[in-house]
């Protein structure tokens, strides 16, 4: 799916209609009020061109967050399990700041198995994959982060958040996992 092909409003309506996600959950995860979301979803037609809102009643920041969130949910069912687990590992190392050695120590999984899985998940046994998936899931922070105030999320904030992921930046040779990008929306 490309950004140009995504009809954000239709995608969110379908997800809500099929009980895949509730309006309240979308509001909580995006930091956009339920009343604003309801008004947006009740609106007619397609008012997005790619990730850009065209007269939707949303701020540009809200529109972008909602578009990224809708794309993430739309792709969620097609993400292979290995990619999900790799995303957790990348999140633990890139976002939480744990090293592979830290994760190995905390989970009892051999550092070599974590490295092998990160390089090529097909090269490790199902038992190792299961251990990595279940044991690392307990390391993912469980506290609810507070959504950033829309008024204070600036382009500078986004650039600062993305800086560690830029090629050539100190310690930033890997790109962020596409399923962790909503991290930018939260403190």
Count of domains forming the chain: 2
- Residue 18 domain-assigned (yes or no): yes
Same-domain check for residues 8 and 63:
yes
Quick one: pLDDT at residue 125?
A: 96
- The pTM of this model reads 0.52
- Residue 154 domain-assigned (yes or no): no
Same-domain check for residues 17 and 69:
yes
Q: Which of 43, 45, 48, 79 is nearest to 66 (CA)?
A: 48
Helices (H), ranges, 43-154: 60-76, 81-90, 100-107, 111-119, 126-137
Query: What's the full length of the chain, in residues?
Result: 187
- Residue 102 domain-assigned (yes or no): yes
Quick one: pLDDT at residue 51?
A: 54
pLDDT tens, position by position, 64-92: 889 888 888 888 888 899 998 998 899 89
Same-domain check for residues 97 and 59:
no
Collapsing DSSP to helix, strand or coil, 98 comes out as coil
The DSSP code for 2 is -
- Residue 35 domain-assigned (yes or no): yes
Same-domain check for residues 94 and 55:
no
CATH number of the domain that residue 69 is part of: 1.10.260
Quick one: pLDDT at residue 175?
A: 41
124 confidence band (pLDDT: 50, 70, 90): very high
Domain extent, residue 13, equals 3-76
Same-domain check for residues 65 and 85:
no
- Residue 104 domain-assigned (yes or no): yes
CB neighbourhood size of 55 (10 A): 7
- Residue 142 domain-assigned (yes or no): no
Residue 120 CB partners (closer than 8 Å, separation 6+): none
- Residue 176 domain-assigned (yes or no): no
Beta-bridged to residue 53, according to DSSP, are 48
Same-domain check for residues 52 and 92:
no
Q: At what angle do helices 23-30 and 8-17 cross, to 10 degrees?
A: 130
- Residue 147 domain-assigned (yes or no): no
Cα–Cα distance list, 72 to 16, 31, 66 (Å): 15, 16, 10
Residue 179 has pLDDT above 60, yes or no: no
Same-domain check for residues 90 and 60:
no
Q: 15-19, 47-51, 96-100, 146-150: which has the minimum mean pLDDT? A: 146-150
Q: What is the DSSP string of 20-60?
A: SS-HHHHHHHHT--HHHHHHHHHS-S--EETTEESS-SS-H
Same-domain check for residues 16 and 43:
yes
Same-domain check for residues 68 and 85:
no
Residue 165 CB partners (closer than 8 Å, separation 6+): 94, 172, 174, 175, 176
122 confidence band (pLDDT: 50, 70, 90): very high
Q: 3-12, 65-74, 167-176: which has the minimum mean pLDDT? A: 167-176
Give the phi and the psi of residue 96 in degrees, each rounded to 5. Answer: -85, -20
pLDDT tens, position by position, 14-33: 999 999 999 999 999 898 99
Q: For the chain, how big is the Rg over CA atoms in Å?
A: 18
């Amino acid at each position: 799916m490309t950004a140009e092909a995504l009809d954000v409003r239709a995608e969110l309506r379908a997800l809500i209609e099929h009980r895949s996600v509730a309006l309240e959950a979308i509001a909580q995860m995006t930091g956009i009020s339920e009343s604003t979301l309801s008004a947006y979803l009740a609106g007619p037609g397609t008012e997005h061109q790619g990730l850009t809102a065209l007269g939707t009643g949303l701020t540009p920041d809200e529109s972008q967050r909602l578009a990224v969130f809708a794309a993430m949910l739309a792709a969620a069912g097609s993400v292979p399990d290995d990619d999900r687990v790799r995303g957790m590992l990348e999140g633990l190392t890139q976002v939480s700041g744990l090293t592979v050695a830290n994760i190995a120590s905390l989970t009892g999984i051999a550092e070599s198995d974590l490295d092998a899985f990160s390089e090529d998940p097909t090269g490790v046994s199902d038992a190792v994959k299961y251990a990595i998936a279940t044991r690392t899931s307990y390391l993912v922070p469980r506290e609810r982060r507070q959504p950033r105030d829309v008024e204070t999320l600036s382009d500078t904030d986004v650039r600062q958040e993305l800086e560690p992921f830029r090629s050539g930046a100190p310690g930033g040779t890997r790109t962020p996992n596409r399923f962790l990008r909503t991290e930018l929306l939260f403190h």
